[in-house]
Amino acid sequence: MNKKDWEEKIVEPFVKKAPERKKEFKVSSGFVVDRLYTPENVSIEYSKLGFPGVYPFTRGIYPTMYRGRFWTMRQYAGFGTAEETNKRYKFLLSQGQTGLSVAFDLPTQIGYDSDHIMALGEVGKVGVAISTIEDMQTLFDGIPLAKVSTSMTINSTCAQILAMYAIVAQSQGASIAELRGTVQNDMLKEYIARGTYIYPPEPSLRLATDIIVFCAKEMPNWNSISISGYHMEEAGATPVQEVAFTLADGITYVEKVLERGINVDDFAPQLSFFFSAGNNLLEEVAKFRAARRLWAKIMKERFNAKKPQSMMLRFHVQTAGCTLTAQQPELNIIRVAMQALAAVLGGCQSLHTNSFDEALCLPTEKAVRIALRTQQIIAEELGVADVIDPLGGGYYLEWLTDKIEEEAMKYIEKIDEMGGMIKAIEGGFVQREIQKSAYEKQKAIENGEMTVVGVNKYQIEEDIHMELLKVPKEIVEKQVTRVKKFKENRDKTNVEKTLEKLKKVAETDGNLMPYVFDCVRGKATLGEIADALREVFGEFRAPEIF
């Protein structure tokens, strides 16, 4: 019996007696899915599906994947002052976390010191406040940076933060060449979805490229960029859009570095990616597989990369913050577990699991521990890490993988026709596409077409009685006072000299990173370095896109 006969002889008579729940079933990307998948649906022959560790890496970038070692369990954390966050890091490490991930407060992200009037009300609220080299020293006090892998979610002020981190590591006796970790350093997605930009796109790209080139020469074990689709998904992008726009950003960064005369194989192995894991489990698994295969093809065919490492899409995953609900918040534990499972089945290299209370407050210690334990249960108890690409070869999964790759490539080709990602962003194309998807998703939730358990279905009357983490006012005051004292107790003349040198180089096409290092060593603050560059580059104001 073939599929057509099965539909006509078995399914249709049955459906007449027992109708299906709805006429049409769709995944998040809008594809209508069949009720059953067979070899007829799959374009790839099983004999050509490939193997892990072999181009195009559909089934994983390493030959043994998690049979060699688990993904890095990297819980994103930061709040209040460096002291408070240092305590949280030590707690997480004591509970089995295998990598650090730093969340910075909003002033730090957009280039204001904690004592700046623009920082008022935001110091330490959504991450840790880092204004000075002393803050960075305190943040990692007692943590040997030569032995730990650290991810830092920072973009506009990435140069300052990376310099501070490297200098602190050197003060511990480490060589910056041996440091392992990642800086996000992805400015393009800031103009698309996140908004923590300072300068216009071109100087921002220049800074990002400076960092990539610097790390290729001086910090060979460091991931110089984490090209991020996560924030696009949070803004409303579909899985197809997340893959397409993220890889289109990646293409732009590669082109910018190549313009500096750097060979692609000398920097491409240090590129990394950052994706979200949403609720549709199988679609998310297919998304990761499709992204990995598509990037391998782009690097080989478009950029003529020769090293296998240059073609590997190494990626971090964070479970989807936009799916967390304030209603029945304990249900978020289940959502996060399923999303984390998708990331693992999709072959991620590192993973952050959200805490169930994040729709209400900064994560509490109990919630963080549950989030970390979620990863540990997946790793140690479920058996899914025992086999490489355990879902590979499934008819539906392979159809979805092909479909996401195909549709993402259509977007990339359209962006190429526009003149590249910068033109597409400046013209508002990418932003409009994401906003349309966000509108359609919200409309589907409001009309009940898409279920959010506890929000538009299965609601209950509840009084939420939970411990909520808040940053006390006195902690903020302590940080502001400390920054002021730091500025008073230094050689101001030397600070000005280093900042002036930085501005002069900013007016040329020289790499800014060595001069940022000099500024940090000379005790210039993060905000002062940002201000010096503001004088040269100016500030960006987002245009209307409709």
What is the three-state SS of 83-142? Answer: HHHHHHHHHHHHCCCCEEEEEECHHHHCCCCCCCHHHCCCCCCCCECCCCHHHHHHHCCC
Q: Rounded distance, CA 172 to CA 99, Å? A: 18
Structure tokens at 418: 């526009």
pLDDT at 256 over 60: yes
Q: Rounded distance, CA 60 to CA 312, Å? A: 9
Cis peptide before 56 (omega within 30 of 0): yes
Dihedrals phi, psi of 75, to nearest 5 degrees: -80, 125
Amino acid at position 98, single letter: T
Q: What is the mean pLDDT of residues 504-523?
A: 98
Hey, how many other C-beta atoms are within 10 angstroms of the C-beta on 406? Answer: 13
Residues near 499 by beta carbon (within 8 Å), at least 6 away in sequence: 519, 524, 528, 529, 532
pLDDT single digits (tens) 258-305:
999 999 999 999 999 999 999 999 999 999 999 999 999 999 999 999
Q: For position 46, what pLDDT does the model report? A: 60
CB of 110 closer than 8 Å to CB of 156? yes
Q: Rounded distance, CA 440 to CA 28, Å? A: 10
Hey, how many other C-beta atoms are within 10 angstroms of the C-beta on 367? Answer: 23
CB of 277 closer than 8 Å to CB of 343? yes
- Which residues in 300-357 belong to E strands, given as ranges? 315-319, 350-352
pLDDT single digits (tens) 170-185:
999 999 999 999 999 9
Q: Which domains does the chain have, with CATH numbers?
A: 3-36 (no CATH), 46-446 (3.20.20.240), 483-537 (no CATH)
Q: Which residue has the higher pLDDT, 426 or 511?
A: 511
Q: Rounded distance, CA 28 to CA 89, Å? A: 35
pLDDT at 42 over 80: no
Residues near 334 by beta carbon (within 8 Å), at least 6 away in sequence: none
> Is the sign of the CA dihedral 61, 64, 65, 70 positive or negative?
negative
CB of 343 closer than 8 Å to CB of 308? no
CB of 275 closer than 8 Å to CB of 242? yes
Q: For position 47, what pLDDT does the model report? A: 56
Distances (CA, A) of 286 to 48, 229, 245, 416: 17, 15, 17, 24
Amino acid at position 524, single letter: A
Radius of gyration of the chain (CA): 24
Q: Rounded distance, CA 449 to CA 9, Å? A: 30
Q: For position 4, what pLDDT does the model report? A: 87
pLDDT single digits (tens) 205-238:
999 999 999 999 999 999 999 999 999 999 999 9
- DSSP 3-state assignment of 469? strand
Q: Rounded distance, CA 390 to CA 531, Å? A: 51
Q: Rounded distance, CA 101 to CA 78, Å? A: 8
Of 15-29, 154-168, 314-328, 513-527, which gets the smallest average pLDDT?
15-29
pLDDT at 44 over 80: no
Q: Rounded distance, CA 103 to CA 116, Å? A: 20
CB of 452 closer than 8 Å to CB of 445? yes
> Is the sign of the CA dihedral 186, 183, 296, 233 positive or negative?
negative
Amino acid at position 19, single letter: P
Amino acid at position 246, single letter: T
Cα–Cα nearest to 77, from 95, 102, 108, 98 = 102
pLDDT single digits (tens) 186-207:
999 999 999 999 999 999 999 9
Q: For position 505, what pLDDT does the model report? A: 98
How many residues in total does the chain contain?
546
C-alpha torsion angle, residues 209, 210, 216, 218 (rounded to 10): -160
Percent of the chain with pLDDT over 90: 83
Alpha helices in 172-297 (DSSP H): 188-189, 201-218, 230-235, 239-258, 281-297
